[in-house]
Amino acid sequence: MAYRAFFALPAENFTTAQGQHTNAIYGFATMLISLIKEEKPTHIAVAFDVSRKTFRSDIFPEYKANRSKTPDEFRSQMSYLHELVSAFGIQQFEVEGYEADDIIATITKRAEKQQCEVLICTGDRDSFQLVNSHTTILYPKRGVSEMARMTPQAVQDKYGMSAEQYPDFAALRGDPSDNLPSVPGVGEKTAAKWIVDFGSLKELLANVDTLGGKVGQSLRDNIDNVIRNRELTQLVHDAPFNFEVDALAWSGPDDELIIPLFENLEFRTLRDRLTPLLKKVPEKIKAAVSSDTLFETPFDSNVLTPEEASKKIAAHGGEIAIAFDLEGETLHRYCVALSAKESFIVHSSKMGEWASDQLTKKIAHDAKSVSRNYPFSNISFDTNLAAYLVNPGTRSLDFSDIIERWGDGSQIDQSSPESALHSHARLLFTVRDSLAKELKVRQLAELFSELEMPISELLAVMESRGISVDRKKLESLAIFFEKESATQTKIAHDAVGHEFNLASPKQLQVVLFDELKLPKTKKIKTGYTTDADALNWLFEKSKHPVLAAMLRVRETKKLGATVEGLLTETTKKNRIHTHFAQTVAATGRLSSVGPNLQNIPVRTEEGRRIRECFIAGEGFESLLTADYSQIEMRIMAHLSNDAALLKAFESGEDLHASVAGLVFGVKASEVDPEMRRQMKAMSYGLAYGLSAYGLAVQLDLSASAAQELMNKYFIRFGGIRDYLSDVVDQARKVGYTQTVMGRRRYLPDLTSDNRPRREVAERMALNAPIQGSAADIIKKAMLNVDSLIKENKLKSQLLLQVHDELIFDVAPGEVELLSDLVRKGMGTAFELKAPLDVSIGIGSSWNEAAH
C-alpha cells in the first residue's frame, strides 16, 4: 500500500525542507487515518516484506524477477514508515523468507478461530483466497483513496466464481506482475469457465484429456506451470512468528511519538486530521483545529434543477467554479460554487447557456474531460493545467492531491459524496488564487493563458470530431496478422524440430542456447536475455531461420494488437475518438490514448496498411496532412546559434548529407548512404543526450570509433558542443530548463549525489528545451490554423495531431485555400533562425496523404 501511495502522489510535491521525500509516508498515513475513522477497528496489525528472497523464489527463481529495482526515493522512506506504524501504536510484523501476505493470512486464520471479523487492506489479488463470511478484503480501486469491499458475493459478482475457487483461476491466468506464466491462448474467460464447470483446478487437471481444441492442448502442454503457479499463489496460514490476537488491540496513536514525527515530516494538514484519534490533544493543536467543519457556513443542502441553477448564476453575474461528478465519460451531476462559501448541486447532465457563454467566467479542474462531450467551454482557469505547468514532472494531478499542495491546508470533506462535491467546487477559488500567483512568479502566466488554455479547448473539439475509419479494412488486417503470426509460429517450430512457447523466456533460453548452441546474449538473473534487441543481435550473427520467424511473430502480434485496439475504439458511425493527454509528458508534448494514434508505424509497409484504414469523413473529399521538416534540428540550430548548421539549412540541400559532407570532408554529392545514416543518428541523438557508448551501440561501431566520430562532428559544429555543455550547466544553476516559449521543466536531480539519477536529469536537461520547444510550436500552429479556418469560414476541420503532423478533413473545393492557410499558420508559429518548413500531402486516406 505504501508503494501504491508512492506512485499515486508526485514525489516532487512531497519533500521536507531538508529534501527528504515523503509521498509514500504521507499516502500511507492518510490511508491509515481514513481506515481507522471509517472502519473503527478494535485490533490492528501491519505486515511488511523483508526482501524479495522468499521460499517462493527458492521454488521458482524467476518469481517476481521481472520487477524493477525499488526506487531510491521510496527506499529512503522505509525507516519512516516503520516509525510511523509504531507511532500509531500499531504492532508490525515481518518474517524472513515469507511475504507480508503470508503474515496477514496467518493472523487472519487465528483471528477467525476466535470468531473475529477481519478486514484486510491490500493491493494483492492473491488475498482474495482469504475471503469468507468472517473476512473481507479492502482492495484499492484508485490510488490509495478508494477501496472496493471484496466479500464472498463481490468476488462472485466480479469473477463469476467463489472466493475458494479464485486461486485455482489465478493459477491458470498467471500473473505478469509476479512473473507467473499464463497458459498460451487461454484468456480469463476460458480459465473462469473451466474452473466453474469442473469446480476446481484439481478436477480440471484430472479431466484434462477431455478438453478439446488448441486451448485444451495448450493446457496439457503447460500443466507444470499451472501446478507451480497454484503452489506459489497459495498463502501460508502458519508463518513462523509469535503473536497473540489480544495483543493486537489498538487504543490510539502514541501522542509523544506521532506529533513530533508529523512535525518533522512537515505533515501539517495530516496532523489536524489525526486530532480526533489522539488520546489527549495538545493545547496548541486544539487551538489550531477550532471546529470539525471545513467551512464557516454549512453547505447549502438544496438541490436545484438546471433551470433554477441558470437563474441563480445569471443573478450572481460574477465568476463561478464548477466541480463535476463523472462516471467514465458520463456526467451525472455537477456542483456550482458562487464563492468559497456558497454552492449548490444539480442532479443532471444538462447545463444552461452559461456553460458556454463568454460572459460567465468559469473555474474548473480538467475541463476537457467534460467539454469533449458536453457544451462546456470558455473556461477562465483550469487548475489541472495550471498545476501541470507549475510542475510538469508530477505523477498525479488529481484535485485531492493538488489541494494538499495548493489549497492552503484545506481538504475535501469526504463525509458524503455531496459534501465532497461541494467542497471541491468551493476550494477551486482558493486553488486558483494560489496557482495563479505561482504561475506569475515562475513567468508562466502567458504560456498558460495564451497556449495551454486555448489548446485544451481546441483539443476537446478535435476529440469530439474524431476521424473516420474503414472498419472492413481494419477487420481484414486483424485476420491477416493473426494468420501470419500462426504461420510464422509453425515455421519457428519446424526450424527447431518441435513445438515450444515463443512467449516463454525460459523455453526460448533452452531452445536457443542449449539446443541450437547459438551465441550467448547478455546474462540476467534468469539466464540469458531473449528480449527484442537480443533476438535482433542473434539474427544478425547467425541468420538462423527460427530467429527470423520469432521476430516476425513478435512484429505481427504487435501490429495485430494495434489493429484490435483500433477496432475496439471504433464507434457505430465508424469514427475513432482518441483522447489527447495534455498533462502527461513533462516536455509539454501531447500524447494520445484510447486509442494511441501516435504509435502507428509509418516506415513499414504493414504500418502504412494500417494508416490506409483512416479515411476522409462523410461530406469531405480528402484528408490533408501537414508536418514540419526536421523541426528538432531547426530548434537545435536556433538555440545553439551554430553558424555551420544554420548555413546547412540555408543551402536548401539534404541536411544530413550536408552535415556528413562537412564532418567527413567531402562534397555533399559524394556522401554515401552509410555516412548520411551516421550523421543523422549523431544529429538527432545529441538532442537526446546521446553518449559515445550509445552511438557505438546504435551504429555498431567500437567505442573508440564512435568517440572519434563525435569529436569530428564537434570540430565542425562547435556551437552545438558549447550549447549542449552550457544548457546543462545553466539548468544546474537555476534548477530548470526552458523552451523558446518559456515552458519550464524542473530537474532537482541535477545536483543529486546519486550518479545514475544525476545522469538521467542531465539527459532530460538536453532534451527538454528541444522537444519542449517543438511541442510549443506545434500547439501554436494548431491555434493559428484553426483561427484562419474560422476567419475564412471554411468547412474543412482539424482532426488529429500526431507528433509534428496535423491531419485535416478537406471539404469539397477547399483544398487549395486550406493548403495555403495551413502553410501560413504553421510557418508563422514561431520565428526560428532556421525558418520552419512545412510539407503538405493530400489523399483519400492517411497513408495516401503522406508526403
> Where is pLDDT greater, at 609 or 281?
609
Mean pLDDT of 62-71: 67
Which residues, in sequence order, are CB contacts of 550 under 8 Å at separation 6+? Answer: 488, 492, 502, 508, 535
- Shortest CA distance to 367 belongs to which of 433, 320, 416, 316? 320
How crowded is residue 433: how many other Cβ atoms within 10 Å of its Cβ? Answer: 15
83, HSE (Cβ side, Cα atoms, 13 Å): 17
Q: What's the pLDDT score for residue 67?
A: 59
Q: Which of 255-264, 331-340, 360-369 has the lowest mean pLDDT?
A: 255-264
Give yes or no for residue 282 having a pLDDT over 70.
no
Of 266-280, 598-612, 779-793, which range is least confident? 266-280
Burial of 717 (0-12, 13-18, 19+ CB in 10 A): buried
The torsion of the CA quartet 297, 299, 303, 309, rounded to 10 degrees, works out to 50
pLDDT at 778 over 50: yes
| Strand 744-746 versus strand 797-802 pairing type | unpaired
What is the reported pLDDT for 744?
93
How crowded is the C-beta side of 571, counted as CA atoms within 13 Å?
11
- pLDDT tens-digit series, residues 423-452: 999 999 999 999 999 999 999 999 999 999
Residue 387: CA count within 13 A, CB half-sphere: 27
Give the per-residue pLDDT at 798.
98
* Average pLDDT rounded to a whole number, residues 60-64: 70
229 residue type, one letter: N
**Domain-wise residue ranges, the chain:** 2-160+236-246, 303-442, 632-773
Order of strands across the sheet with 343-346? Answer: 303-304, 343-346, 330-337, 320-327, 362-364, 381-382
To the nearest 10 degrees (0 to 180), the angle between helices 166-173 and 188-198 is: 140
pLDDT value of position 299: 45
Q: Mean of the pLDDT values across residues 461-474? A: 95
| Listed range (392-406, 701-715, 784-798) with the worst mean pLDDT | 392-406
Q: List for the chain the helix, strand, coil content (%; round to 5).
A: 55, 15, 35
Does 3.20.20.70 match the CATH number of domain 2-160+236-246? no
Q: Is the pLDDT of residue 406 over 70?
A: yes
| pLDDT at residue 734 tops 70 | yes
Is residue 168's pLDDT more than 60? yes
Average pLDDT taken over every residue of the chain: 87
What is the per-residue pLDDT for 628?
Answer: 95
> Does domain 632-773 fall into CATH 1.10.150.20?
yes
Predicted local confidence at residue 221, as pLDDT: 85
Local confidence band at 269 (pLDDT 50, 70, 90 cut-offs): low
Q: In whole angstroms, what is the distance from residue 460 CA to residue 370 CA?
A: 9
Name the residue with higher pLDDT: 428 or 599.
428
Asked whether the predicted pLDDT for residue 570 surpasses 80, the reply is yes
Grid coordinates of 613: 484504414
State the distance between the two ends of the chain, measured CA to CA, in whole angstroms: 50
The larger pLDDT score, comparing residue 350 to residue 653, is at: 350
101-155 pLDDT, tens digit each? 999 999 999 999 999 999 999 988 889 999 999 999 998 876 556 788 999 998 8
Lowest mean pLDDT among 4-13, 495-504, 651-660: 4-13
Residue type, 104: I
Q: What pTM, to 2 d.p., does this model score? A: 0.66
Closest CA to 521 of 533, 511, 503, 510: 533
% of the chain surpassing 90 pLDDT: 43
pLDDT at 144 (0 to 100): 56
Q: Can you give the three-state secondary structure of 647-678, one letter per residue?
A: HHHHHCCCHHHHHHHHHHCCCHHHCCHHHHHH
**Exposed / middle / buried, residue 619 (Cβ in 10 Å: 0-12, 13-18, 19+):** exposed
| H-run or E-run covering 624 | strand 622-628
Amino acid 414: pLDDT: 74
For the stretch 172-194, pLDDT in tens is 888 766 777 778 878 778 888 89
- Better-predicted residue by pLDDT, 713 or 269: 713
**Residue type (1 letter), 261:** L
β-pairing verdict for 135-142 and 614-615 = unpaired
Q: At 714, which amino acid appears?
A: F
pLDDT at 68: 63
Percent of the chain with pLDDT over 70: 94
How confident is the model at residue 287, as a pLDDT? Answer: 40
CATH class of 303-442: alpha beta
Q: Regarding predicted confidence, which is higher, 498 or 38?
A: 498
Nearest Cα neighbor of 324 from 358, 298, 299, 350 is 350
Which of 6-15, 164-173, 230-239, 542-551 comes out lowest in average pLDDT? Answer: 6-15
